[in-house]
């Protein structure tokens, strides 16, 4: 099932998995609707996507935490961009790595507002149109963290457990329509994830990946494109992918340097 010419809406598209997913869909000739908070970075990805083969690109400066802004962005899309066929709910982040009882409440709120409420706001704005039009595919970005909570990461893990529940619930709620719903749940992926978590502390962030050949954003993007290009009667409910050196969110086999 080709994605050529389809309108693919990707949130958090300015870096990491979101940017790699944009470029992967671009290579298939999709029409890309890209959203992120960093307009400068997003513009760079939009240009790269056109060079890679995207049929067209439309960018939106958007913070998914803002419910009204999300709805306004969807309501005011140009007519030629309004019939979104694939939604990739990628926007998300982690902040801090502290014990729950000493965690920073502002970090909790940022994670919950982005990873859970942001996903809900975008889904609520986009999916009704898919149901009315009789086709569409929602891909939600989960994590191995949603399967197994790790120490000092309770709130982030909780947001990814929530993503899994929302993904499964949405798939049940669209039953009887042609809309498909998929959760793609990566393990360790080497992106700016840890740099964001540790607020720019590159030394601490680099230790996360030490001794492990992590997944790349392109690895995850390839799975997303694969899931959305299955025959129309096939729904990939969930894909869990990890590096070979990772068993779950707690167990790693690290090479000694």
Confidence of residue 202 (pLDDT cuts 50, 70, 90): confident
**Chain segment 81-135, per-residue pLDDT in tens:** 999 999 999 999 999 999 999 999 999 999 999 999 999 999 999 999 999 999 9
Candidate list 101, 121, 156, 209, residue with the active-site label:
156
How many residues are given for the chain?
Answer: 257
Q: What is the mean pLDDT of residues 186-208?
A: 89
Give residue 195's pLDDT: 86
Report DSSP letters for the chain, one per residue. ---TT-EEEEESTTSHHHHHHHHHHHHTT-EEEEEES-HHHHHHHHHHHHHHT-SEEEEEE--TT-HHHHHHHHHTS-GGG-S--EEEE----------GGG--HHHHHHHIIIIIIIHHHHHHHHHHHHHHHT--EEEEE--GGGTS--TT-HHHHHHHHHHHHHHHHHHHHTBTBS-EEEEEEES-B-SSHHHHHTTT-HHHHHHHTTT--PBPHHHHHHHHHHHHTS-TT----EEEE--TTBSSSS-B-PPP-
CA of residue 208 relative to chain centroid, distance: 21
Tokens of residue 198, six digits: 């540790």
pLDDT digits over 37-89, tens only?
A: 998 999 999 999 999 999 999 999 999 999 999 999 999 999 999 999 999 99
- Reported pTM: 0.96
Furthest-apart CA atoms within the chain: distance in Å = 56
Check if 156 is active-site: yes
Whether the predicted pLDDT of 226 surpasses 90? yes
Residue pair 174/131 in contact (Cβ under 8 Å)? The answer is: yes
Which class for 2: exposed (0-12), middle (13-18), buried (19 or more C-beta within 10 A)? exposed
pLDDT at 1 (0 to 100): 86
User: What is the bridge-based pairing of β-strands 31-36 and 137-141?
Assistant: unpaired
List of domains in the chain? 7-241 (3.40.50.720)
CB atoms within 10 A of CB 132: 10
d(CA 201, CA 187): 21
Taking only the tens place, the pLDDT of each residue in 1-33 is: 899 999 999 999 999 999 999 999 999 999 999
193-207: average pLDDT? 87
Q: What is the reported pLDDT for 257?
A: 67
Of residues 251, 162, 171, 225, the one with CA closest to residue 17? 225
Average pLDDT, integer, range 154-173: 98
**Per-residue CA distances from 26 to 23, 50, 137, 256 (Å):** 5, 7, 17, 38
Whether residue 250 is predicted with pLDDT greater than 80 in this model: the reply is yes
């Amino acid at each position: 099932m080709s994605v050529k010419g389809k309108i693919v809406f990707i949130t958090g598209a300015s870096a990491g998995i979101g940017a790699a997913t944009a470029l992967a869909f671009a290579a298939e000739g999709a029409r890309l609707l890209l959203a992120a908070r960093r307009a400068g970075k997003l513009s760079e990805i939009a240009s790269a996507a056109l060079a890679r083969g995207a049929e067209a690109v439309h960018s939106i400066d958007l913070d998914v935490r803002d419910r009204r802004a999300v709805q306004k962005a969807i309501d005011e899309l140009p007519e030629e961009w309004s019939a979104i066929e694939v939604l990739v709910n990628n926007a998300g982040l982690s902040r801090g790595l502290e014990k729950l009882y000493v965690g920073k409440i502002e970090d909790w709120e940022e994670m919950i507002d982005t990873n859970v409420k942001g996903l809900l706001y975008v889904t609520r704005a986009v999916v009704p149109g898919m149901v009315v039009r009789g086709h569409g595919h929602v891909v939600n970005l989960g994590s191995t963290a949603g399967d197994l909570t790790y120490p000092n990461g309770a709130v982030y893990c909780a947001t990814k457990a929530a993503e899994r529940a929302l993904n499964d619930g949405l798939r049940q709620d669209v039953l009887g329509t042609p809309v498909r719903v998929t959760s793609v749940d990566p393990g360790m992926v080497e992106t700016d994830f840890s740099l964001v978590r540790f607020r720019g502390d590159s030394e601490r962030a680099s230790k996360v990946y030490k001794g492990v050949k992590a997944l790349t954003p392109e690895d995850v993007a390839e799975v997303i494109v694969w899931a959305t290009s299955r025959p129309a009667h096939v729904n990939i409910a969930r894909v869990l992918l990890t590096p070979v050196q990772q068993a779950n969110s707690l167990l790693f086999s690290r090479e000694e340097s």
